[in-house]
Amino acid sequence: MAVPESIRPLHSVPNGAPLSHVAKEEAALGNAHLEKWRSLVDEFREKAQQLERDERNSCPACTAEERARVAEAQHFMESSGIGEALCDLVWDIRRFVAWSCHARDRPVPPEYTELEMVADNMKDFAIRFAYRGRRYGLTFREHVASHPDPHADTRGEAYLLADGTAVFGVAMASRPGAAYDDWHPTTIEAFRPGGWIADLLEMHREHQRCRQAMEAKARDEVTSRRAAMISLE
């Protein structure tokens, strides 16, 4: 009984057919399957992109007015310095929590009280603290890729909470090879104006003052060592 072409196995060889001819037919059939698969993938990708565009254009949160508000908040974050302030504060407060528990010789600034590590998974942590009696919280999460690129920026996000409510959030990035606490804001993710802005900027000014003092002390020590090496005595 002859086998119909529609159900004949790919590698079946008709009686008397040259092997080279069969190989060419199989290659042609394989290429046809591949091209069909690629066409389906391209069609699916195009439909998915179109759905995403349609959803974005029809979403009330993506109207021109809302986009303008987001752009204004982004500009305020960049011009005021609150984005950089939050990126620095995350690591300052994390150090203060550690000092309060394990390093009594490293005094925590008296403005910071009630320091508590709520959750700590190294690259995903949450902290509660009070600054001059006002209650705040911080969360940080690093986005860990399944196949990280050693030459790409590391991405993450941080949020500041006031009385349990998220009032400010940023997406952030760290350059390849940078120190663990060297992060910079990229885009604003949440923003509710309030008295926390003045506190955040004040905390950041103190951070900068301490860093400048440490850098000056380090420079002075290097200068002293160099002077000792060239003494004329």
Contact (Cβ atoms closer than 8 angstroms) between residue 192 and residue 174: no
The predicted-structure confidence for 54-112, as pLDDT tens digits, reads as follows 666 666 556 778 888 999 999 999 999 999 999 999 999 999 998 888 766 678 889 99
The predicted-structure confidence for 129-140, as pLDDT tens digits, reads as follows 999 999 999 999
* Whole-prediction pTM: 0.66
Characterise 19 by phi-psi region: left (phi > 0), alpha (psi -120 to 50), beta (else). Answer: alpha
Q: How far apart are CA 177 and CA 143, in angstroms?
A: 16
pLDDT of residue 8: 47
Sheet-wide strand order for 184-191 = 112-120, 124-131, 134-143, 154-162, 165-174, 184-191
